[in-house]
């Protein structure tokens, strides 16, 4: 059997063998058997150890071949040097999946040894999870095949983690936070099964409503994105990623490359596919717990109910930060809440019941908010006062939550002394979303709204754009034939023309007479640039002259360019000059596309000059792009208002920029040989007047700094 076995039996095995099972409670092989037994796994449990014996009431088999029952899963916990033989033995005995706990493979440079495991497993149609992992937990099978502390609560959150140590610690943490899990999987070295394979299974697992990913690095990001894009329509997906480093960025040869830091691209593409990125493990846990229990909102617009003005304002700030819109119909608010309000209270949102509010006032206000169809969700805040008992308030809070928890999203934040702290701990234990910090409460609500909005947004269709690919292949072939991994300016302009991106009219002139004739044909003013494969940075070589108004200036410029370029690089072969139309001024932007090492084709956009150089004000999206995505990428830069027109200026041609972004995205998605294409500047004119690509640079696979 050579085809890959369905991953279902990894999560729902009918029998589990533990190779390296030990009678010694200190050993990992013992702990795994113990967890399998304690988790109540109903299938066959087959400890394997050549010494034989018994562990926790289960016979230890000397050899897998002695086992008569079906073994879908084998957990391997023996020293690295014995693992390959064990893999073979599993294959010969019909095992479907291997969970290889053992460390000491590719993570310590033993790549060949790890490859051998995968190749052997493939021969038998087995799939490998690991090596170098702490195991797998599956609620569906009541199976804890990890060497963690045990006590995992079953629930609806699936965790996939690249970090073993953090994953083990998460077991204790989830239990302490009463967070129920549907699955917990450690992926370790990802020799075979990776996040994408696991997500394929979890996508169809009705038990899982929230997926939490802890990621350190991404391989095969394009597949991951396409699976995530689909899953996030039905489930909430949270990601925590460590390593916000700028690895690799410095070596990149283009702006797009140097700005496309691994983390910026990760952040952008996760948002693009509806994944919620948490800043910390705690935030991820808070979100996971809240999202697993909360109903989806039916509408936007939250209401804040508080007994303290200050905390209400903090909540308002938090709503702005996390994108939670507030219900704002003043008349309706007044009508709804005036019955529970003292004269000096406020029926605006935040609804401020004031410090003299009683538990009954709170209850009434919450009822009003939660029954009102115009209000999407509620944020209930409480500052400890002498006027009513924290115990009584906790009781009321539990009852209100129980009444409405399936109807509307609700979060609570309580602030005060020891009694409040105790109340919070108790309420959280019983699964109520109560937070000491109002920002944490609103952050959960924000995550819910973001996930909900993504899921209900219509799926984007990516329209085919007309691009003359044969012409582009021709330009690339010319460069390749000349032994180059970059395109000369006029070749890059041919590519732009084939893409349907407007460029300034230009003519390559081999000598002075031809340059003059070209200038006459194009019409003044013109610009002139040296054409030489040996001179890439033309301005540095004195190879560029701008704003040439007449024939005399063209002659002078030609001679000056030749002189400077020969002095700059005496060996350079100069093919002539390019004479081009002088582009009229507009807003200078930069737009590029490249092959990202993790996620494949991505597009970048920003304004030129200081916006890109100093402020790094750029945005990214994974390609190919539809219109909506292109517009959201453009709208995401901080300097976007400049494109909308400031101080009486007209709105710029944003549709034309989006069109260029779509075309560049389609190109790098289809032609993987192009590692970088960058237009800098892309000059943008007023709405309806289009854009012009002034300088186009293209790098091919194999170029220094390219991927
Ligand atoms: N078949 C079955 N049993 C075998 C075999 C075999 N082919 N070979 C040896 N055994 C038995 C041994 O006799 C022993 O049993 P015993 O206690 O009865 O003597 C048992 O298997 C284990 O073998 P040991 O040699 O005692 O190995 P030990 O348990 O010390 O270590 C382990 C094995 C745990 C797999 C170790 O090699 C290892 O890789 N440790 C790291 C695990 C890890 O951290 N993984 C990543 C987790 S994520 C994180 O970072 C926390």
User: Per-residue pLDDT tens for 64-95?
Assistant: 999 999 999 999 999 999 999 999 999 999 99
The CA distance from 436 to 416, in Å, is 8
Q: How far is the CA of 21 from the centre of ligand 1 (A)?
A: 8
Residue owning the nearest CA to atom 16 of ligand 1: 22
Phi, psi angle pair for 579, to nearest 5°: -105, 130
Contact 522, 580 (CB under 8 A): yes
Q: Is the pTM of this model over 0.85?
A: yes
Closest atom of ligand 1 to CA, residue 164: 48
Q: How far is the CA of 76 from the centre of ligand 1 (A)?
A: 8
| 622 bridge partner residues | 602
Contact 181, 158 (CB under 8 A): yes
Phi, psi angle pair for 459, to nearest 5°: -65, 140
Closest atom of ligand 1 to CA, residue 76: 35
pLDDT confidence of residue 2: 36
Q: Reduce the DSSP state of residue 161 to 3 states and report it.
A: strand
Residue owning the nearest CA to atom 38 of ligand 1: 102
The CA distance from 280 to 173, in Å, is 14
Q: How far is the CA of 75 from the centre of ligand 1 (A)?
A: 11
Q: Which of 35, 67, 79, 99 maximizes ligand 1 atoms within 8 Å of its Cβ, making it the mutation to test the pocket?
A: 79
Q: How far is the CA of 625 from the centre of ligand 1 (A)?
A: 49
Q: How far is the CA of 100 from the centre of ligand 1 (A)?
A: 10
Side-chain-facing half-sphere of 5: CA atoms under 13 Å = 25
Q: Which of 17, 19, 20, 110 maximizes ligand 1 atoms within 8 Å of its Cβ, making it the mutation to test the pocket?
A: 20
Residue owning the nearest CA to atom 20 of ligand 1: 20
Residue owning the nearest CA to atom 37 of ligand 1: 79
Contact 548, 520 (CB under 8 A): no
Give me the residues of the chain with pLDDT under 50, please. Answer: 1-4, 247-253, 706-707
Q: How far is the CA of 23 from the centre of ligand 1 (A)?
A: 12
Residue 115, token pair as written in the block? 């490859």
Q: How far is CA 681 from CA 230, 255, 625, 696, in A?
A: 36, 11, 21, 8
Closest atom of ligand 1 to CA, residue 30: 17
Residue bearing tokens 């289809």: 670
Q: Measuring from each residue's beta carbon to the nearest atom of ligand 1, which residues come in under 6 Å?
A: 19-20, 22-24, 27-29, 48-51, 77-80, 82, 86, 101-104, 132-134, 164-165, 168, 186
> At 636, which helix (H) or strand (E)?
helix 627-636
Q: In what order do the strands lie in the sheet with 143-146?
A: 143-146, 135-138, 181-186, 154-161, 210-215, 236-241, 276-277
Q: How far is the CA of 25 from the centre of ligand 1 (A)?
A: 12
Q: How far is the CA of 148 from the centre of ligand 1 (A)?
A: 15
pLDDT confidence of residue 11: 97
CA-based Rg of the chain, rounded to a whole angstrom? 32
Q: How far is the CA of 135 from the centre of ligand 1 (A)?
A: 13
Residue 191, token pair as written in the block? 């020799």
Residue owning the nearest CA to atom 48 of ligand 1: 164
Residue 534, token pair as written in the block? 């040996």
Closest atom of ligand 1 to CA, residue 51: 18
**Residue pLDDT, tens place only, 426-463:** 999 889 999 999 999 999 999 999 999 999 999 998 98
Region class of 414: left (phi > 0), else alpha (psi between -120 and 50), else beta: beta
pLDDT confidence of residue 257: 55
Q: How far is the CA of 674 from the centre of ligand 1 (A)?
A: 47
Closest atom of ligand 1 to CA, residue 85: 7
Closest atom of ligand 1 to CA, residue 147: 47
Residue owning the nearest CA to atom 19 of ligand 1: 22
Q: How far is CA 377 from CA 148, 291, 314, 492, in A?
A: 38, 14, 17, 53
Q: How far is the CA of 131 from the centre of ligand 1 (A)?
A: 12
pLDDT confidence of residue 246: 53
Q: Which of 24, 33, 49 maximizes ligand 1 atoms within 8 Å of its Cβ, making it the mutation to test the pocket?
A: 49
Altogether, the residues listed in the chain come to a count of 707
Q: How far is the CA of 217 from the centre of ligand 1 (A)?
A: 27
Residue 357, token pair as written in the block? 């509010």
Q: How many C-beta neighbours within 10 Å does residue 461 have?
A: 8
Q: How far is the CA of 134 from the centre of ligand 1 (A)?
A: 12
Structure letter (DSSP) for residue 106: G
pLDDT confidence of residue 247: 47
Q: How far is the CA of 80 from the centre of ligand 1 (A)?
A: 8
The CA distance from 49 to 64, in Å, is 9
Closest atom of ligand 1 to CA, residue 82: 7
The sign of the dihedral angle between the CA atoms of 586, 624, 696, 606 is positive
pLDDT confidence of residue 647: 82
The CA distance from 705 to 12, in Å, is 46
The CA distance from 105 to 244, in Å, is 26
């Amino acid at each position: 059997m050579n085809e890959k076995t369905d991953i279902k039996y990894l999560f729902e095995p009918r029998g589990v063998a533990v190779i390296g099972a030990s009678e010694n409670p200190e050993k990992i092989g013992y702990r795994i058997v113990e967890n399998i037994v304690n988790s109540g796994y109903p299938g066959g449990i087959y400890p394997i150890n050549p010494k034989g014996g018994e562990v926790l009431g289960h016979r230890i088999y000397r050899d897998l071949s002695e086992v008569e029952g079906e073994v879908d899963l084998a957990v391997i916990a023996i020293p690295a040097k014995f693992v390959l033989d064990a893999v073979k033995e599993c294959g010969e005995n019909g095992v479907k999946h291997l969970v290889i706990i053992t460390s000491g493979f590719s993570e310590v440079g033993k790549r060949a040894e790890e490859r051998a495991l995968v190749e052997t497993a493939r021969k038998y149609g087995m799939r490998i999870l690991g090596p170098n992992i702490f195991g797998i937990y599956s609620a569906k099978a009541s199976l804890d095949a990890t060497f963690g502390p045990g006590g995992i609560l079953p629930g609806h959150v699936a965790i996939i983690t690249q970090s073993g140590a953090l994953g083990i610690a998460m077991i204790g943490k989830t239990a302490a936070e009463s967070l129920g899990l549907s699955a917990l999987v450690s992926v370790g070295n990802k020799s075979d099964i990776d996040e994408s394979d696991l997500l394929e299974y979890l996508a169809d697992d009705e038990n899982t409503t929230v997926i939490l990913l802890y990621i350190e690095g991404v391989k095969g990001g394009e597949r991951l994105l396409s699976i995530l894009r689909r899953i996030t329509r039905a489930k909430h997906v949270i990601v925590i990623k460590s390593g916000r480093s700028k690895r690799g960025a410095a070596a990149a040869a283009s702006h797009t490359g140097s700005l496309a830091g691994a983390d910026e691209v990760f952040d952008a593409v996760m948002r693009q596919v509806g994944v919620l990125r948490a800043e910390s493990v705690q935030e991820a846990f808070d979100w996971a717990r809240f999202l697993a229990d909360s109903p989806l909102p039916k509408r936007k617009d939250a209401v804040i109910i508080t007994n303290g003005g200050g905390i209400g304002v903090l909540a308002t700030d938090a709503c702005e930060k996390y994108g939670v819109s507030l219900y704002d119909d003043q008349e309706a608010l007044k009508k709804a809440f005036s019955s529970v309000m003292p004269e000096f209270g406020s029926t605006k949102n935040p609804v401020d019941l004031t410090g003299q509010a009683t538990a009954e006032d709170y209850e009434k206000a919450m009822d009003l908010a939660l029954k009102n169809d115009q209000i999407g969700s509620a944020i209930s805040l409480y500052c400890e006062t002498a006027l009513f008992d924290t115990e009584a308030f906790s009781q009321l809070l539990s009852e209100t939550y129980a009444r409405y928890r399936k109807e509307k999203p609700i979060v609570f934040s309580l602030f005060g002394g020891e009694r409040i702290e105790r109340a919070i701990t108790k309420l959280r234990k019983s699964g109520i979303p109560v937070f000491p910090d109002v920002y944490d409460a609103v952050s959960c609500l924000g995550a819910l709204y973001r996930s909900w909005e993504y899921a209900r947004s219509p799926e984007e269709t990516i329209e085919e754009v007309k691009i003359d690919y044969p012409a582009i292949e021709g330009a690339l072939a010319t460069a390749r034939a000349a032994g180059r991994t970059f395109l000369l300016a006029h070749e890059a302009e041919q590519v732009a023309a084939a893409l349907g991106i407007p460029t300034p009219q230009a003519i390559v002139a081999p000598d002075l007479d031809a340059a003059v004739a070209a200038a006459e044909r194009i019409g003044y003013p013109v610009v002139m640039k040296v054409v030489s494969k040996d001179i890439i940075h033309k301005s540095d070589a004195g190879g560029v002259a701008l704003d040439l108004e007449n024939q005399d200036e063209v002659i002078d410029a030609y001679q000056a360019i030749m002189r400077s370029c020969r002095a700059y690089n005496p060996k350079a072969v100069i093919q002539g000059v390019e004479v081009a139309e002088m582009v009229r001024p507009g807003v200078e932007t930069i737009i590029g596309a490249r092959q990202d090492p993790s996620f494949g084709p991505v597009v970048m956009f920003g304004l030129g000059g200081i916006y890109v150089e100093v402020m790094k004000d750029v945005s990214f999206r994974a390609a190919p792009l539809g219109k909506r995505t292109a517009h959201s990428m453009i709208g995401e830069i901080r300097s976007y208002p400049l494109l909308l027109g400031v101080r009486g200026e007209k709105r710029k041609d944003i549709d034309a920029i989006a069109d260029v972004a779509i075309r560049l995205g389609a190109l790098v998605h289809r032609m993987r040989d192009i590692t970088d294409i960058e237009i800098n500047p892309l000059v943008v004119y007023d709405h309806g007047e289009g854009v012009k690509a002034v300088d186009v640079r293209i790098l091919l696979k194999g170029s220094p700094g390219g991927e």
